[in-house]
A and B are shown apart, each in its own frame.
Chain A
């Protein structure tokens, strides 16, 4: 692996990296100063973001500059506009935003200011996952410090740009990380995703134009504004620029959150970053970007980790939360716990998702306990195809269907073995899974 320039996590090594003085020492708030003092026009900031090729880090990989440009023209649409920052990081395997919020919250604050300036938003709402107490406290403290220093609130840095930042603590629902569910929750309602259209840019928070961005996406903005799009584009691969935070977990020697450039292979990440599979074992499978992306077999380990290459290989880059499974892992059990999560977290609006996630979970659970039937595998595929793609209001049904289809496709023999033997050959002997009840 060749050397590459790091920028995302450079500041967190310093003691008290979360405080304003340390952030300033490390060059913080220079980007917003550049924007406001030059001054750059909001359109110029959006043009810079577009030029940089930054793609959203929340999972879908949508070009950020383009998303910002969807906000309606202020001269034709005088409604207030908002930025909502999605810090409800709750995809199994994903733990990257937490590092940024806990260790470098001012970077997020500065990013919010730049995004709000570019989109002429009067306020940003940072929706933090309820379990992230330290993240919440640190970002709140950073906002307070910044406000006291005249960096948040009215007439920022003495200019006529005013912008307020507000925190909101989620209550632990995965679905509130879906952008329209997040907006419903911010409005004080149940986090039920809204049908699209209307899209958030047309009618979002309180029916006003809204853009929802992931923490890491926003965190990239000050760097791009300060150092320029050319610098940013030079990193990564042509269609996935910059660095990304890779959360590595599972059966590896060195799990953790790493800053990596796009374009490495999964093998390079596993072997050179994560220290290889633990206990000298062999790799069996891996999720490339969180549990909702299709499980890939060990044979796919040479896939290049950028949005388009992973997609071409039949999975998704997602949030780059790589979960590696060694040869002792039981795929039926992995799918049992994966679907247990989606069954538990489905909001329950759409029939296919509410009933389908439960059904898939019940089937995987039964198969993992050795009670599977031969016809179950085809039924799993058939049901998953009935749930997705695009058949429901949001993508949670897809998030359950995609790994199901991938697991049955790549590991059919594992399931068949489980069914034939009447038990899971990989099952740990100490804890037999309890029988599922109809209600749980």
Chain B
């Protein structure tokens, strides 16, 4: 991890002092007034403003009362388009400021449909929240609301509800400012404006999902998430994306703490800002695999452990499985040990201790870069903890080379989430049955060589750390509990080591 350097007077950003709601606060002169308000803990609502996008000052909901200096006449301005100046006096809580924002809100709600009960955004909608806080109980409009398209597909990822749209243009600016490939525009004029793609073509690119995050209302929703959950039933855990070595900071959102429904980016100034790619966003499949059918070790998540008996893989408790694994590894000197690149630092350290006991070196499987690499976030490297494993002294090995070595080995231990997928189960199935294979993975595959399988948690079921491509720590937290019988992988590794060398493990 890169060490934060102590700022010297010259490179410390020069701040100026302004007054916000009676308190003196430091403000960055390069940022608009709304940032100074937010940074000092004063809540100013915003729809068109987004800290990651160019401000346009069009929704007008962030209006506050500003005077150039104490005692000077004040006026109401849009905080997102107002630069800060030294000595400025800002008041967000005056009757005039509240009234201006109330008026603005009333106009925004004039044509906004009252479909909150079926809107995916309900519960995390800026318009709903601010209406709840500041809005009036009764609408004064008796005019017909705009009738527009309720479900307009903008490609494979996004659906647009034109009636809900408040034309904040964040989505338009996202493609201008972030991906630098404009795809959306406001078409039509005035109250007939709608968001549309150029030439009505579907959206393309690997970053479309961000539109649903930045949309302040329920106008842009994710096709995979539509009508899947009420957001207040989602428990949120801080985590890190597993799909490339960028390790974007994310929030894992699970329905009632059980089923992962959504990955969303979480602000991290040094890694991903506010964004993530769709590859990472929609990678639920690896973490939502169903359990294997009762009584079987195959066909789904392995809850517990399995060993090869006369009739094939038989479900057993973890302890006898680890005893069997210890027997195999002890009986065959210098077994081959391979780690998944999804292994956390903690798991890798436990694996290294085990390897020391076995007297072998550990390496991690390093698949070839994918074609998903872009110049924004996706590194194309499918190893989320490459940097961390490398720093711990583990060498990478390509899947093809790993399979060659497996075919020649007498015993081998494969450790970690998705390691069989990375080595390709179809290829592993060709390994000779004489190979004594021990696998700690989220599921067991039907491999002739497989002797012992112990279930492991996925990255949303464990806590730990990864180091991303630039050395920033990515934290994993338990978002959903692992299936009953699956313990932390580092514990499994320590128990195996204890079974191998009882005296060493008690140190």
Chain A interfacial positions (CB closer than 8 Å to B)? 173, 175, 190, 195, 197, 343-359, 362-363, 366, 373, 379, 386-387, 390-393, 436-440
Does chain A have a CB within 8 A of B74? no
State the CA gap A346–B192 with chains docked (Å): 9
1/0 contact trace for B130-157 toward A, CB 8 Å?
Answer: 0000000000111111111000000000
CB <8 Å contact, A359 and B190: no
Q: Which of B59-67, B241-249, B394-402 contacts A (4 or more CB under 8 A)?
A: B59-67
- B118 interfacial by beta-carbon distance below 8 Å: no
For the complex, give the distance between the alpha carbons of A356 and B104 in Å. Answer: 9
- Say whether B403 faces chain A, with CB atoms less than 8 Å apart: no
Find the residue from A354, A359, A392, A393 having the highest chain B CB count within 10 A. A354
Residue contact B107 to A356, C-beta cutoff 8 Å: yes
Pairwise interchain contact B189-A346, C-beta atoms closer than 8 A: yes
**Residues of B229-252 whose CB lies within 8 A of A:** none
Q: Lowest 9 A-B CB distances belong to which pairs?
A: A386-B103, A346-B190, A348-B193, A438-B144, A358-B191, A355-B107, A349-B58, A362-B143, A195-B57
Cα distance A21–B124 in the bound complex, in angstroms: 70
Chain B residues within an 8 Å CB radius of A393: 57-58
A277 to chain B, nearest CB (A): 34
Mostly, the B contact residues are loop
Question: Once the chains bind, are B191 and A352 in contact (CB under 8 Å)?
Answer: no
State the Cβ distance, B51 to closest chain A Cβ, in Å: 17
Complex contact B59–A351 (CB within 8 A): yes
A residues within 8 A CB of B143? 359, 362-363, 366, 436
Q: How far is the CB of B126 from chain A (nearest CB, A)?
A: 13
Asked whether any CB of chain A lies closer than 8 Å to the CB of B81, the reply is yes
From known contacts A350-B60, A355-B111, infer whether A343 and B191 are also in contact, taking CB-CB under 8 Å. yes
Q: How far does the alpha carbon of A84 sit from the alpha carbon of B339 in the complex, in Å?
A: 67
| Contact B186–A190 (Cβ < 8 Å) | yes
* Alpha-carbon separation in the docked complex, A438 to B112 (Å): 12
With a cutoff of 8 Å between Cβ atoms, the chain A residues found around residue B103 in the complex are 352, 386-387, 391
Q: Are B56 and A195 in contact (CB under 8 A)?
A: yes
Q: Are B145 and A348 in contact (CB under 8 A)?
A: no
Q: A366-B143, A438-B144, A439-B148 are in contact. Are A390 and B75 (CB under 8 A)?
A: yes
Q: How many Å from the CB of B172 to the closest CB on chain A?
A: 10
Residue of B nearest to A356 (CB): B107
Q: Is the CB of A350 within 8 A of B141?
A: no
Instruction: Evaluate contact between B190 and A348: CB separation under 8 angstroms.
Output: yes
Q: B278 contacts which chain A residues (CB < 8 A)?
A: none
Neighbouring B residues of A439 by C-beta, 8 Å: 146-148, 192
Say yes or no: A348 contacts B189, CB within 8 Å: yes
Complex-state Cα separation, A373 to B143, whole angstroms: 12
Query: In the complex, what's the smallest C-beta–C-beta distance from A274 to chain B, in angstroms?
Result: 33
Q: Does B78 contact A (CB under 8 A)?
A: yes
Say whether A351 contacts B61, CB under 8 Å: yes
A sample of 18 inter-chain contacts (CB < 8 A) reads: A195-B56, A195-B57, A344-B189, A347-B190, A349-B58, A349-B169, A350-B60, A351-B59, A352-B103, A362-B144, A363-B143, A366-B143, A386-B106, A391-B103, A436-B143, A437-B147, A438-B144, A439-B192
Known: A436-B144, A438-B147. A354 touches B78 (CB 8 A): no
Interface band, chain B: 35 or more
Task: Name the interface residues of B67-96: CB closer than 8 Å to any CB of A.
Answer: 75-76, 78, 81, 83
Instruction: Give Cα A358–Cα B167 distance, bound, in whole angstroms.
Output: 15
Q: Are A355 and B192 in contact (CB under 8 A)?
A: no
Contacting residue for A354 out of B57, B145, B193, CB 8 A: B193
Alpha-carbon distance between A314 and B506 when the two chains are bound, in angstroms: 92
Q: How far is the CB of B58 from chain A (nearest CB, A)?
A: 4
**A363–chain B nearest beta-carbon distance, Å:** 7
A-chain residues with CB within 8 Å of residue B63 when the two chains form the complex: 391
Q: Find chain A residues with CB under 8 A from B104 CB.
A: 351-352, 386, 391
Q: Is the CB of B107 within 8 A of A348?
A: no
A436 to B146 CA separation, bound complex (whole angstroms):
11
**Contact residues in A for B186 (Cβ distance below 8 Å):** 190, 348
- Roughly how many angstroms separate A184 CA and B328 CA in the complex, as a whole number? 74
Instruction: State which of B142, B188, B190 has its C-beta within 8 Å of the C-beta of A358.
Output: B190
Interface presence of B450 (CB below 8 A): no
With A349-B169, A350-B59, A359-B110 given, can you name 4 additional A-B contacts, CB distance below 8 Å? A343-B190, A350-B58, A387-B103, A439-B148
Say whether B166 faces chain A, with CB atoms less than 8 Å apart: yes
Q: Which residues of B contact A357 (CB under 8 A)?
A: 190-191
Is the C-beta of B100 less than 8 angstroms from some C-beta in chain A? yes
B108 at the interface (CB under 8 A from A): yes
Bound Cα distance from A195 to B107, whole angstroms: 20
A373 — which chain B residues lie within 8 A by C-beta?
142
Chain A residues, Cβ within 8 Å of B76: 390-391
Given the contacts A391-B76, A393-B58, A439-B192, A348 and B147 also touching, CB distance less than 8 Å: no
